[in-house]
Structure 1
Amino acid sequence: MGDQRVILISANWKMHLNNVEALSLVQQFAAHLSASPIPPGREVSIHPPFTSLATVKAAIETYRLPVVLGAQTCHFADSGAYTGEVSAGMLASLNVRYVIAGHSELRAQCGETDEVVRDKVSAIYRHAMRPILCVGETTAERNSGVAERKVRRQVASALGDRPAELVAAAVIAYEPLWAIGAGVTATPDDAAQMCTAIRNELGNLAGVDEAAMVRIQYGGSVTAESSGALLGAENVDGFLVGGASLDAEQFSTIVTG
Structure 2
Amino acid sequence: MPRQKFIAGNWKMYTTLEQARELARSVAAGVDAETARRLRVAVCPPFPWLLPVGEVLRNTPVALGAQDCHYEREGAFTGQVSPYMLREAGCQYVIIGHSERRHGLQESDEFLNKKLHGALRAGLHVIFCIGELLSEREAGQTESVLLRQLQNGLAGLTAEQAAALTIAYEPVWAIGTGRVATEEQAQQAHAFIRAQIAERFGSTAADSITIQYGGSVKPENAAGLLRQPDVDGCLVGGASLKADSFLAIVRAAL
Asked if Structure 1 and Structure 2 have the same fold, meaning a TM-score greater than 0.5 normalized by the shorter chain, the answer is: yes
Identify the match of residue 49 of structure 1 among 46, 51, 55.
46
Which ranges of structure 1 fall in alignment gaps of 5 or more residues? none
Q: Does 1:213 align with 2:211?
A: no
AA partner of residue 28 (structure 1): S
Question: Within 5 Å, which residues of 2 pair with 1:145-224?
Answer: 145-224=140-219
Question: Within 5 Å, which residues of 2 pair with 1:1-257?
Answer: 3-33=1-31, 38=35, 40-61=37-58, 64-257=59-252
Q: Do the aligned residues in 2 keep the contact of 1:16 with 1:49 (CA within 8 Å)?
A: yes
Superposition CA RMSD, Å: 1.4
The separation in 1 between residues aligned to 2:239 and 2:36, in whole angstroms, is: 19
The Cα offsets for residues 133-168 of structure 1, whole Å up to 9 and x where unpaired, read as: 100001110011111110111111121332110111
The separation in 2 between residues aligned to 1:124 and 1:164, in whole angstroms, is: 17
SS of residue in 2 equivalent to 1:109: coil
The separation in 1 between residues aligned to 2:24 and 2:81, in whole angstroms, is: 23
The separation in 2 between residues aligned to 1:140 and 1:88, in whole angstroms, is: 34
SS of residue in 2 equivalent to 1:10: strand
After TM superposition, give the deviation of residue 60 of structure 1 in Å.
0.6
List structure 1 segments (4+ residues) > 6 angstroms apart after TM superposition: none
What is the aligned residue count? 252
The Cα offsets for residues 35-59 of structure 1, whole Å up to 9 and x where unpaired, read as: x962642100110000000011100
**CA 1:92 to 1:39, structure 2 compared with 1: closer, same or farther past 3 Å?**
closer
The separation in 1 between residues aligned to 2:247 and 2:157, in whole angstroms, is: 35
TM-score by length of 2: 0.95
The Cα offsets for residues 103-132 of structure 1, whole Å up to 9 and x where unpaired, read as: 000111211000110000001100111111
After TM superposition, give the deviation of residue 225 of structure 1 in Å.
0.7
Task: Tell which deviates more after alignment, 74-83 or 131-140.
Answer: 74-83
SS of residue in 2 equivalent to 1:202: helix
TM-score by length of 1: 0.94
Q: Do the aligned residues in 2 keep the contact of 1:181 with 1:221 (CA within 8 Å)?
A: yes
